[in-house]
A = this chain, B = another copy of it.
C-alpha cells in the first residue's frame, strides 16, 4: 500500500502461506544439493507437492523474486525464504521430557542446519538426568528457569506425558518463553501473546481412520449413489 517501492514484501503473510514456506525451503535445498541453479514454479511446485499457481502466489507475498521467462534462482530464493522464516538468526530450543520422543527430537539432525540450536534437555526422572543424549547432558527440570535465562531459550518443546505438560508450559511462560511446541495430547492453557503449536501423533491416525472407513463404506456400491439418498 503506502511505501511500496522500498518495501516489496508485505508484513501480512497469510498463515496458510507461512505453513508452506518450510516445505518449499526443503524442496529448494534438495535442488541445491543436486547442483540446480534455477527452477520454474512448475518444477518447484511438483517437488513440493502443490499447485504451481499457489506456489507463485505464496512467493509473491515475499516479493518479486522470480524472473519471467526463466524462473527462480534457487540460492536466492533459499535465502529469502530463510530470512522470512527467521532462520537466519539462531533460535535456542529447550526440550522437556527426554523419553523416546524427546530423544528422537534431540537426535533429529534437521534442526541444527536450519537455525535451531538445542540449548538444553530437561527431565524430571533422576534416572534420566545426567545421561548424555545427542552429546548434551540432560538436566533436571528444576533448573528450567535458570536454563531459559542463562541460555536465552526462546522456544520450548514439550515432550512429556500429558499430565505434566500444563505444568511445564506454565513454567516456560513464567520464565519468559513465548513460543511452545507441544507434543503432549492436551490443550495447553497459556496467556495471550504466547504462541503454542500442537503436534498430535494420534489425531493424525484418527483422521486417517475416518477416511479409511469412509472408503470402506462406499466400497462395493457406487460412491455417488450413496450420496443420493438422504439429505
Q: Which residues in A have some Cβ–Cβ distance to B below 8 Å?
A: 1-4, 6-7, 10-12, 18-19, 21-23, 25-27, 47-49, 84-87, 89, 91, 93, 99-101, 103-105, 107-108, 110-111, 114-116, 154-155, 157, 178-181, 185-187, 193, 195, 197, 199-215, 223, 226-231
- In whole Å, how far is A193's beta carbon from the nearest beta carbon of chain B? 8
Please state the number of chain copies in the assembly: 2
**A204 with B199: CB separation less than 8 A:** yes
**B211 with A1: CB separation less than 8 A:** no
**B89 with A100: CB separation less than 8 A:** no
Which one of B10, B49, B86, B197 lies within 8 Å of A213 (CB-CB)? B86
A-B contact pairs, 23 of them (CB 8 A): A3-B229, A7-B231, A11-B226, A11-B230, A19-B207, A22-B200, A26-B186, A27-B187, A86-B210, A91-B205, A91-B209, A99-B104, A100-B107, A110-B185, A111-B205, A116-B202, A154-B212, A155-B208, A155-B209, A195-B208, A195-B215, A197-B207, A199-B199
**A179 with B23: CB separation less than 8 A:** no
Which of chain B's residues has its CB closest to A30's CB? B186
Which one of B2, B25, B180 lies within 8 Å of A230 (CB-CB)? B2
Which of chain B's residues has its CB closest to A11's CB? B227
Query: How far apart sit A11 and B100, CA to CA, in the bound complex (Å)?
Result: 39
Query: How far apart sit A1 and B231, CA to CA, in the bound complex (Å)?
Result: 6
Query: How far apart sit A226 and B54, CA to CA, in the bound complex (Å)?
Result: 27
Query: How far apart sit A89 and B210, CA to CA, in the bound complex (Å)?
Result: 11
